[in-house]
């Protein structure tokens, strides 16, 4: 890969894992004896992005977001799941107060390290065009001076329709792409940025995915960054054989020409 291509992928393509607190990673990812309080610092120098899962289940304070911001490198990026109380409801149009509470909890303290917000829906949640558009209208475009980016993690086959695609385009939100057999997905990531959650890691493989598969994902990520237009790309290794996620992310980053910003401490 040329030096120019390597630089471009560092800027446009982020690759990472879901969360940073996971017991099995203390056997095969984190150095033996590493203090739990130093795990985010270490992980953020081995991958270029992390999807925060805890925000789906709990509310965090502004000082916590500020602490996370300060522990990671300058070019690092956090995605985060929105609170489940915003999406796990019968009528999405009633989510306004929950959305406001989540946004007001301090997410903007991540500053330039704040990536897309993931709005994850239950696999049983079916597409209702009127109600879903009402939900999309509730999503804030900014928090203070910070522009917010939203990605929909829709998990019911009823969303795989041009009517949903039209709404997503109208409201300028992206849609999660996944390789998981159990969740439907469009064939390519849709939106102003591409967001992939890869879930098919194999525990028997050292890096979770076979070398040829990782070669293919590297090629696809670069294609997503260029087509149908230049855009940011986020690729997360999530679920599946989760203990292999850091190795898979590292192997993909290596193929993209990424270099750790500094030695982990």
Mean pLDDT per 10-residue section of the chain, whose length is 265 residues: 40 92 93 96 98 97 98 97 98 98 96 97 98 98 93 98 98 97 93 97 96 98 92 94 96 96 57
Task: Classify residue 246: in a domain, yes or no.
Answer: yes
Task: Classify residue 265: in a domain, yes or no.
Answer: no
CA distance 15 to 245: 11
Note whether 183 and 155 are within 8 A (CB). Answer: yes
- For 6, the token pair is 């390597």
Which residue range(s) make up the domain with 172? 3-255
Q: Which uninterrupted H or E stretch holds 20?
A: none
Task: Classify residue 122: in a domain, yes or no.
Answer: yes
Note whether 142 and 148 are within 8 A (CB). Answer: yes
Q: State residue 3's pLDDT score.
A: 39
Note whether 100 and 86 are within 8 A (CB). Answer: no
Task: Classify residue 69: in a domain, yes or no.
Answer: yes
Rounded alpha-carbon distances, angstroms, from residue 259 to 11, 224, 231, 253, 256: 12, 21, 21, 8, 9
Peptide bond into 228 cis (omega under 30): yes
Q: Which uninterrupted H or E stretch holds 251?
A: helix 245-255
Domain containing residue 31: CATH number = 3.20.20.410
Task: Classify residue 196: in a domain, yes or no.
Answer: yes
Rounded alpha-carbon distances, angstroms, from residue 66 to 105, 165, 245: 12, 35, 26
How many domains are contained in the chain?
1
Task: Classify residue 263: in a domain, yes or no.
Answer: no
CA distance 81 to 78: 10
Q: State residue 145's pLDDT score.
A: 85
Task: Classify residue 250: in a domain, yes or no.
Answer: yes
Coil, helix or strand for 248? helix
Task: Classify residue 31: in a domain, yes or no.
Answer: yes
């Amino acid at each position: 890969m040329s030096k120019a291509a390597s630089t471009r992928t560092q800027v446009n393509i982020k690759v990472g894992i879901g969360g940073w607190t996971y017991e099995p990673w203390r056997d095969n990812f984190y150095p033996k004896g590493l203090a739990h309080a130093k795990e985010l610092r270490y992980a953020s120098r081995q991958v270029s992005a992390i999807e925060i899962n805890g925000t789906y289940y709990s509310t965090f304070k502004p000082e916590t977001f500020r602490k996370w911001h300060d522990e990671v490198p300058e070019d690092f990026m956090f995605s985060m799941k929105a609170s489940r109380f915003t999406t796990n409801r019968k009528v999405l149009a009633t989510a306004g107060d929950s959305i406001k509470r989540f946004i007001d909890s301090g997410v903007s303290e991540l500053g330039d390290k704040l990536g897309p917000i993931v709005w994850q829906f239950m696999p049983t949640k079916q597409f209702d065009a009127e109600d879903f558009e009402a939900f999309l209208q509730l999503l804030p475009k900014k928090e203070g001076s910070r522009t917010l980016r939203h990605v929909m993690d829709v998990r019911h086959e009823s969303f795989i329709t041009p009517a949903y695609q039209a709404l997503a385009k109208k409201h300028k939100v992206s849609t999660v792409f996944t390789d998981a057999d159990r969740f439907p997905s469009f064939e390519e990531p849709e939106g102003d940025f591409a967001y992939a959650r890869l879930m098919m890691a194999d525990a028997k493989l050292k890096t979770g995915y076979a070398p040829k598969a990782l070669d293919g994902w590297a090629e696809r990520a670069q294609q997503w960054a260029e087509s149908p237009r230049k855009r940011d790309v986020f690729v997360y290794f999530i679920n599946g054989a989760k203990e292999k996620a850091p190795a898979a992310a590292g192997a993909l980053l290596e193929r993209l020409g990424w270099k750790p910003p500094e030695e982990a401490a």
